[in-house]
């Protein structure tokens, strides 16, 4: 039973990923006084792309078409780590947050290489900027998760979530506040949202992710887009799971699971609204202000770790 739930929640995470994107886009459109496309639009886009031809630059090597496959495979594997419906995951025990962070780095490395294989300046430009953001985002992400791991005395994601579910809901520690702050900032940078990157732009001066995937088309592009949607969803699920896991099923009862799905949908809706509001109300940062932004995340994460020792 537990195994089945583990598999289902991982597949669910991968399956609903495009929906999360659609919902965010829809809410954004509403805030901007537009009607917006259907929330199912990203699925239609993926289907369309999967039916198209795969255009490969004449200078590219085999890696160009391998990179999206690897990116999707490691991102999907990372999804197996994250507890969603109940406080456990298939790789939740052996699979800890260090592995999760490095699996995401794995995918990003290959995406950067794929971008540089195109042989144009856009790919290199995007990869170079992505390298900057990811080099500076990895440390605060790991430190923030480290502080939570220290509080809960375990490094496995299931353990962290379980410990948080079991404690009194209003047991707020300064560590959580700092760690949440750091994680939110890093999540914005990692998933390429405003103010770090603008997923809706196609202007070379402003873009990171879009510049990297500029040469990709057809099924390869579909895989990349799907993988980045999965990444967004799993980082949201991680945030929700670590900082607000209440409502998750602790046993394996059907009622518990239904309640957990409801709670999960509610929490995701709230985070989608939050993202949409943030994206509609602030402008994108200049490229060279991004290090300051991530510096703030690092400072928060360092404070979170320091407070675990100071407050025990």
Partner 1 sequence: MIQTTFNSFLVALLIIPAVLLLCRRSRGTRALPPLLLLLALLAGTVVAGFSFWRGDRLALDLSWATPFPFALTVDRLSAFFLLLICAVGVPVTLFSTSYVERHYSGPKADWMWALLPLFLLSMALVVTASTAFAFLFGWELMTLFSAGLIVIDGASERRRHNIFIYLVMMHAGAAAVIASFLLFVPHANSLDFISMRAAVASMPMGLRTAIFLLSFVGFGTKAGIVPFHLWLPKAHPIAPSPVSALMSAVMLKTAIYGFVRFTFDFLGGGPTWWGYVVLLAGAVTGLLGILYALTEHDLKRLLAYSSVENIGIIYLGLGAALVFMANNAPVWATVALVAALLHALNHSLFKSLLFLGAGAIADATHTLDIELLGGLLRRMRVTGTVFLIGCCSIIGLPLFNGFVGEWMLFRSFIEGAELPGISSAIILPLMAGVLALIGGIAAACFAKLYGVAFLGRARSIEAEHATEVTTSMQAAMALLAAACVAIGIVPGVVLNPLMVLARELMHSPALPEATLPISHALPLIAACVGVVIIAVAGIRRIKRVTPTWACGLPALDSRMQYSSAAFSKPLRKVFSKVYEADRTVEVAYAQEPYFPKSIVYRSVRTTSFEKSLYRPAVDAIVGMASRLRRLQTGNMQVYLLYIFLALITLLVFMRFA
CB of 94 to partner 1, least distance (A): 3
What residues pair up with 249 in beta bridges, in sequence order? 86
Rg (CA), the chain: 19
CB atoms within 10 A of CB 258: 12
User: Per this entry, what is the length of the chain?
Assistant: 312
Task: Between 224 and 276, name the residue whose CB sits nearer to partner 1.
Answer: 224
Contact 10, 79 (CB under 8 A): yes
Task: Between 5 and 223, name the residue whose CB sits nearer to partner 1.
Answer: 223
Q: What are phi and psi of 52, to 5 degrees?
A: -90, 170
Could you give the C-alpha distances from 238 to 36, 147, 175, 197, in angstroms and in order?
28, 15, 17, 21
Using the 8-state DSSP alphabet, how is residue 9 labeled? H
CB of 256 to partner 1, least distance (A): 26
CB atoms within 10 A of CB 169: 10
Task: Between 23 and 125, name the residue whose CB sits nearer to partner 1.
Answer: 125
Task: Between 24 and 304, name the residue whose CB sits nearer to partner 1.
Answer: 304
Q: Omega of the bond prior to 88 within 30 degrees of 0, cis?
A: no
CB of 250 to partner 1, least distance (A): 22
DSSP reduced 3-state for 156: strand
Task: Between 156 and 164, name the residue whose CB sits nearer to partner 1.
Answer: 156
CB of 115 to partner 1, least distance (A): 8
Task: Between 225 and 279, name the residue whose CB sits nearer to partner 1.
Answer: 225
CB of 97 to partner 1, least distance (A): 9
CB of 199 to partner 1, least distance (A): 20
């Amino acid at each position: 039973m537990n195994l089945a739930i583990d598999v289902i929640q991982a597949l669910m995470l991968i399956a609903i990923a495009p929906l999360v994107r659609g919902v965010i886009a829809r809410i954004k459109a509403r805030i901007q006084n537009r009607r917006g496309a259907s929330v199912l639009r990203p699925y239609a886009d993926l289907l369309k792309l999967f039916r198209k031809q795969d255009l490969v630059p004449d200078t590219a090597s085999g890696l160009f078409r391998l990179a999206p496959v690897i990116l999707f495979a490691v991102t999907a594997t990372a999804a197996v780590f994250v507890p969603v419906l109940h406080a456990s995951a298939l790789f939740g025990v052996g699979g800890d947050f260090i592995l999760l962070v490095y699996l995401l780095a794995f995918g990003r490395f290959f995406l950067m290489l794929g971008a540089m294989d195109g042989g144009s300046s856009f790919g290199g430009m995007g990869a170079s900027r992505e390298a900057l953001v990811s080099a500076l985002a990895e440390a605060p992400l790991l430190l923030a998760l480290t502080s939570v791991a220290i509080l809960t005395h375990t490094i496995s994601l299931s353990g962290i979530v379980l410990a948080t579910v079991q404690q009194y809901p209003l047991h707020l520690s300064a560590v959580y506040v700092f760690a949440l702050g750091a994680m939110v900032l890093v999540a914005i940078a990692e998933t390429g949202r405003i103010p770090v990157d603008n997923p809706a732009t196609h202007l070379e001066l402003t873009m990171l992710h879009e510049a990297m995937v500029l040469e990709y088309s057809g099924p390869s592009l579909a895989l990349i887009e799907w993988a980045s949607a999965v990444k967004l969803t799993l980082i949201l699920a991680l945030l929700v799971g670590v900082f607000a896991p209440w409502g998750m099923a602790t046993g394996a009862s059907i009622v518990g699971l239904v309640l957990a799905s409801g709670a999960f949908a509610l929490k995701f809706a709230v985070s989608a609204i939050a993202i949409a509001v943030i994206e509609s109300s602030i402008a994108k940062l200049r490229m060279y202000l991004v290090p300051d932004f991530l510096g703030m995340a690092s400072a928060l994460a360092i404070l979170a770790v320091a407070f675990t020792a100071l407050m025990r």
